């Protein structure tokens, strides 16, 4: 296995920063400079593929997701990623099911005894149950350009003739998608957030049953998460991760929830914050504190009073960008919420002008 190039990791980190600024051309430029994607860890390789897709470089993003799937074939996360990103890429029927055989297609062929063999025309090995053909293989040369129902006659060095009939042609990405779905239903069953529904003879009845089971599991999970949060065992960041959202949206969900309260400090921190700013002492604010202060602190320009140097993390900048995007939804009508202050239930309002 090749060692990771530090420069590649730096390019990935820098691309993440530019992505938070919505500079997609720069993101693509940096990611295209990554030399060895195969040497990246699964987490880094997943980030690489996601950044390509989300910056609108669909072709390279899908190819990167395909490589992640193959390199980490025995990890269900790799298959989930490939399926999710494949669904983001809009492809026409010709791309999914090409009329003619070419490089990067999967060909189904039957012999005279109706025994089926699946061929992948690719220069790279595959973990899937296929026979890989390289471009210089004799059979590959016969297959290229052929269509469904075309017949191929092969004669080996012992003068034994074999007849093959092409029955199906699909993209290698389409084939991988089907194989990954099958693995999530079999090898990784119960380990992922995906649910594969088999319709059978009573499709509607089976679909309703499956949806009910999924809904009950979701309700049970919600109750367990709420219980852990109320006991202050689970922080809001972990909760956001479980719901596959960002911490800002999770914060807004808690503010508007009738069943669970948003925990904050046990006493009023504002005087201490004011004293620290006035005395120009070091002050550390987490993302939740920044958002809360924006909504409830009477002085909306708090940070303008900080004269000494500000130090922040890229993750905080990313979350604040999420917060800005979230607030744009309230530009017309403003935002209202309910909280507890000194034991009393109070309402706070942010006017559209403040937003």
pLDDT in tens, 55-110: 989 889 999 999 999 999 999 999 988 988 888 887 666 777 889 999 999 999 99
More reliable by pLDDT, 239 or 27:
27
pLDDT score recorded for residue 107 = 95
Query: Looking at 147-151, 177-181, 298-302, which range is the least confident one?
Result: 298-302
Select, from the ranges 47-61, 79-93, 249-263, 275-289, the one with the highest average predicted confidence (pLDDT). Answer: 47-61
Dihedral through CA 218, CA 329, CA 89, CA 318, nearest 10? -90
Task: Give percent of the chain above pLDDT 90.
Answer: 27
pLDDT score recorded for residue 1 = 47
When pLDDT is cut at 50, 70 and 90, the band that residue 49 belongs to is: very high
When pLDDT is cut at 50, 70 and 90, the band that residue 48 belongs to is: very high
Dihedral through CA 282, CA 286, CA 292, CA 295, nearest 10? 70
Q: What is the mean pLDDT of residues 301-314?
A: 65
More reliable by pLDDT, 57 or 223:
57
Report the alpha-carbon distance of residue 31 to residue 29 in Å, rounded: 6
C-alpha separations of 337 from 63, 257, 347, 348 in Å: 45, 10, 6, 5
pTM above 0.75, yes or no: no
When pLDDT is cut at 50, 70 and 90, the band that residue 168 belongs to is: very high
Kindly provide the residue ranges of all beta strands, DSSP E only, lying in the chain, ordered along the sequence.
105-110, 116-121, 131-133, 151-155, 161-171, 335-341, 344-350
Handedness of CA 11, 16, 21, 23 (dihedral sign): positive
Report the alpha-carbon distance of residue 139 to residue 107 in Å, rounded: 11
Q: Which tokens is 276 given?
A: 């620290």
Please determine, for residue 147, whether its predicted confidence score (pLDDT) is greater than 90.
yes
Q: Which tokens is 164 given?
A: 């093959």
Report the alpha-carbon distance of residue 336 to residue 321 in Å, rounded: 20
Report the alpha-carbon distance of residue 175 to residue 178 in Å, rounded: 5
Please determine, for residue 208, whether its predicted confidence score (pLDDT) is greater than 60.
no
* End-to-end CA gap in the chain: 51
Mean pLDDT of the chain: 78
């Amino acid at each position: 296995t090749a060692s990771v190039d530090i420069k590649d990791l730096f390019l990935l980190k820098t691309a993440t920063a530019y992505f938070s600024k919505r500079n997609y051309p720069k993101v693509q430029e940096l990611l295209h400079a990554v030399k060895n994607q195969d040497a990246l860890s699964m987490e880094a390789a997943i980030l690489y593929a996601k950044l390509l897709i989300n910056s609108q470089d669909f072709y390279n993003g899908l190819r990167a997701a395909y490589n992640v799937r193959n390199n980490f074939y025995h990890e269900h996360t790799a298959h989930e990623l490939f399926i999710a990103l494949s669904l983001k890429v809009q492809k026409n029927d010709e791309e999914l099911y090409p009329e003619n055989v070419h490089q990067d297609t999967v060909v189904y062929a039957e012999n005279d005894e109706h025994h089926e063999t699946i061929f992948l025309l690719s220069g790279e090995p595959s973990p899937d149950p296929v026979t890989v053909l390289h471009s210089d293989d004799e059979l590959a040369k016969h297959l290229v350009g052929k269509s469904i129902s075309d017949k191929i006659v092969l004669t080996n060095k012992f003068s034994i003739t074999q007849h093959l009939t092409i029955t199906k042609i699909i993209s290698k990405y389409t084939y991988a998608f089907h194989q990954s779905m099958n693995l999530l239903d079999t090898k990784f069953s119960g380990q992922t957030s995906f649910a594969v529904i088999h319709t059978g003879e009573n499709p509607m009845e089976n679909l309703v049953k499956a949806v009910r089971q999924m809904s009950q599991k979701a309700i049970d999970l919600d109750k367990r998460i709420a219980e852990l949060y109320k006991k202050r065992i689970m922080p809001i960041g972990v909760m956001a991760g479980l719901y596959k959202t960002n911490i800002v949206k999770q914060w807004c969900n808690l503010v508007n929830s009738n069943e669970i309260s948003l925990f904050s400090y046990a006493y009023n921190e504002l005087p201490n914050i004011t004293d620290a700013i006035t005395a120009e002492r070091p002050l550390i604010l987490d993302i939740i504190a920044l958002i809360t202060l924006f909504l409830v602190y009477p002085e909306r320009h708090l940070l303008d009073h900080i004269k000494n140097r500000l130090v922040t993390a890229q993750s905080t900048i990313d979350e604040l960008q999420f917060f800005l995007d979230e607030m744009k939804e309230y530009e017309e009508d403003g935002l209202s919420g309910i909280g507890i202050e000194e034991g009393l239930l109070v309402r706070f309002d942010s006017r559209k002008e403040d937003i």
